[in-house]
A = this chain, B = another copy of it.
């Protein structure tokens, strides 16, 4: 029996589950991030005790946005949790669950583990998982285990440079993959192009307001066969394809699992991604690697926390 704790900027959850990824019980709460870390952690511990108290636990897995220091089990100022400066979350849970092993891991790595154990990465030895939502984070499973790197920063595939003079990324660098192919970047690509009189259907779906165009309307229009929407996904998919080709040249994985946007847009974005990968990476490595959408969907967050101890 494993206790999984998922800490997010808007909601937190505690799940009780098995090492086969079966969820037996689940509670959630709004984070209320402004309340400060002490208050949030106290409510989290209470919820954890409600779910896991009195059970024979083999471990507690905590999944949280980075940056983290996983060796010390400390949360280091993630952007979505203001005021969490060096919060010793692991020792808080160790005190609440004496004698139970507690692991802290960043959410992208934890989701990579979950997709590898129970989702689209099952049965592989070398796999990369990339979120493709608000940002492009990632986790690497190499030689059959999570690879963290020298200080927990491995797998940040979204912050490789694709266009040296490209748009500014949220991370402060220029031309990152995330600045070209994440959800918000797809929205921006569309907003920048719609202004030249193109993209009427996308604009219509956004209620006629350019500022309200997001990846959602782009994907919806593309699904209807709209050329503008398809073109935007083609452009973002091409950038993503270059990034994945580089990843393939460097780690030669068997499988790349892509989150949110790839799940929603499916082949509309996977097709340009795969085509670009075939152009940009070596054939022998490309033939060995399948690029697929994630499988766990809404269950990913809960399973991510469980996967840490499974």
Q: Are B282 and A171 in contact (CB under 8 A)?
A: yes
Q: Does A73 contact B (CB under 8 A)?
A: no
- Restricting to A88-107, which residues have a CB under 8 Å from any CB of B? none
Q: Are A285 and B151 in contact (CB under 8 A)?
A: yes
Of A192-200, A219-227, A247-255, A260-268, the stretch lying at the interface with chain B is A247-255
Complex Cα–Cα for A151 and B124 (A)? 13
Of A1-9, A20-28, A78-86, A154-162, the stretch lying at the interface with chain B is A154-162
Q: How far is the CB of A14 from chain B (nearest CB, A)?
A: 30
Of A53-61, A141-149, A204-212, A291-299, the stretch lying at the interface with chain B is A141-149
Complex Cα–Cα for A154 and B147 (A)? 14
Chain B residues closer than 8 Å to A252, beta-carbon distance:
148-156
Q: Are B280 and A154 in contact (CB under 8 A)?
A: no
In the complex, residue of chain B having the shortest beta-carbon distance to the beta carbon of A126: B150
Q: Does A216 contact B (CB under 8 A)?
A: no
Q: Are A280 and B242 in contact (CB under 8 A)?
A: no
* Size of the chain A interface, CB-CB below 8 angstroms: 44
Q: Are B151 and A246 in contact (CB under 8 A)?
A: no
Q: Are B149 and A253 in contact (CB under 8 A)?
A: yes
Chain B residues closer than 8 Å to A245, beta-carbon distance:
160-161
Q: Are A157 and B250 in contact (CB under 8 A)?
A: yes
- Restricting to A103-130, which residues have a CB under 8 Å from any CB of B? 125-126
SS class, residues of chain A in contact with chain B = loop
Q: Does A67 contact B (CB under 8 A)?
A: yes
Complex Cα–Cα for A24 and B284 (A)? 39
Q: Does A289 contact B (CB under 8 A)?
A: yes
Q: Does A29 contact B (CB under 8 A)?
A: no
Which of B149, B246, B254 is in CB contact (< 8 Å) with A246?
B246
Q: Are A153 and B282 in contact (CB under 8 A)?
A: yes
Q: How far is the CB of A88 from chain B (nearest CB, A)?
A: 19
Q: Are B288 and A159 in contact (CB under 8 A)?
A: no
Which of B125, B150, B254, B280 is in CB contact (< 8 Å) with A289?
B150
Complex Cα–Cα for A282 and B288 (A)? 31
Chain B residues closer than 8 Å to A154, beta-carbon distance:
250-252
Q: Are A156 and B282 in contact (CB under 8 A)?
A: yes
Which of B145, B150, B171, B253 is in CB contact (< 8 Å) with A125?
B150
Complex Cα–Cα for A154 and B279 (A)? 18
Q: Does A49 contact B (CB under 8 A)?
A: no
Which of B143, B151, B160 is in CB contact (< 8 Å) with A249?
B160
Q: How far is the CB of A173 from chain B (nearest CB, A)?
A: 6
Complex Cα–Cα for A157 and B251 (A)? 9
- Restricting to A234-249, which residues have a CB under 8 Å from any CB of B? 242, 245-247, 249
The 10 closest A-B pairs by CB, nearest first: A149-B252, A160-B246, A154-B252, A153-B252, A150-B254, A153-B285, A156-B249, A150-B288, A151-B288, A159-B249
5 A-B residue pairs with CB within 8 Å: A67-B284, A149-B252, A156-B249, A156-B282, A162-B164
